[in-house]
Copies of this chain bind each other. A is one copy, B any other.
Amino acid sequence: MPESTKQELLVGVDLGGTKILAGIFSPQLQLLQTAKLSTKSERGFDAVVSRIARCVRDAADEADLGLKQVRAIGIGAPGAVDPDSGEVIFAPNLRWKDAPLKKALEKELEIPVFVENDCNICTLGVHEVELKGRARSLIGIFLGTGVGGGLILDGKLYSGFNKTAGEVGHMVIQVGGPKCGCGNNGCFEALASRTALFREIQKAVKEGGKTVLTEMLGADLAEMKSGDLRKALRKGDKLVEKVVESAAEHTGIAVANLINIFNPEVVVLGGGVVEALEDEMMSIIVETALDYAMPGTTKGIEIVASKLGDLAGVTGGAVLARQRAK
């Protein structure tokens, strides 16, 4: 791309509890370059804002582009966000409360900044880029450390009365079930997140269950990652298979609940767990969802895994930037 003084590039930022990923996009939403930095939230809000700015500058520099060519930046933040003010109302993973992210980052970079919840952003990215805006209604469900979601209704992001819609991870699907990080019991997140998978495996091992994971990682399974579960499954590990199947079944039931309630055209699953275990989980998720959904609700609808993987966040950020920039 030739050097230009036109402000036509878009930047998407995926701000997570542990890492910042920035992506530079063409006006047609083609990804030109990414850059990654650790978040280091323990250093406080100002330091994180500077790191986001540095990550954006790094990505631009790596692609031989200048920030003057950037029209707007869209950021997904892990928590409750006021998209109008660009404040992060509450983000426990960052230890932020009422953090003026838009204002602070605009001051640092002198580029318009727009902020949204991270799962909303991922859903927006999937809808606009992966599905080319085709579906009028879409639910995005992201299984990672936690479980989050986003809703597209009538072709637009739906955020609800307090801008908190899409908290599908805290839908209770098993009253009296396992304790969730939120304090309730039996949330979808407590049954199908990475945290839930690891908890169940560790519990089974403590109760004397056998798995190749202890050979791979040691008895305490301290450094376990989603990819390790995939490796164990490929080695025919029955304990891991049972735990992953159970998480997939619970995800299928959660998908059916959302189909019964919303009747969306497309349900997209993403996040680290689905990315690592797609082959093992998706067929069970789809089968269970179709089994539990009411007759007539699933005709013509799609339940699919996102192909965007780790890039859903930055992609959605660029979409948000394009939508909101004047």
Contacts and interface: CB of A to CB of B under 8 A. Distances in A.
A200 to B, nearest CB: 14
A258 B261 CA distance: 9
B175 A292 contact: no
Interface string A127-159: 000000000110000000000010101100011
A137 B160 contact: yes
Contacts of A173: 172-175
Nearest to A170: B260
Contacts of A163: 263
Interface stretch (A209-217, A294-302, A310-318): A294-302
Interface in A262-301: 262-265, 292, 294-301
Nearest to A258: B261
Contact of A89 (B158, B175, B296): B296
Nearest to A135: B161
Main secondary structure of the interface of A (DSSP, over half): loop
A171 interface: yes
Contacts of A162: 263, 296-301
Interface stretch (A13-21, A176-184, A232-240): A176-184
A71 interface: no
Interface in A157-213: 158-168, 170-177, 182, 184, 186
A119 to B, nearest CB: 12
Interface stretch (A55-63, A108-116, A221-229, A249-257): A249-257
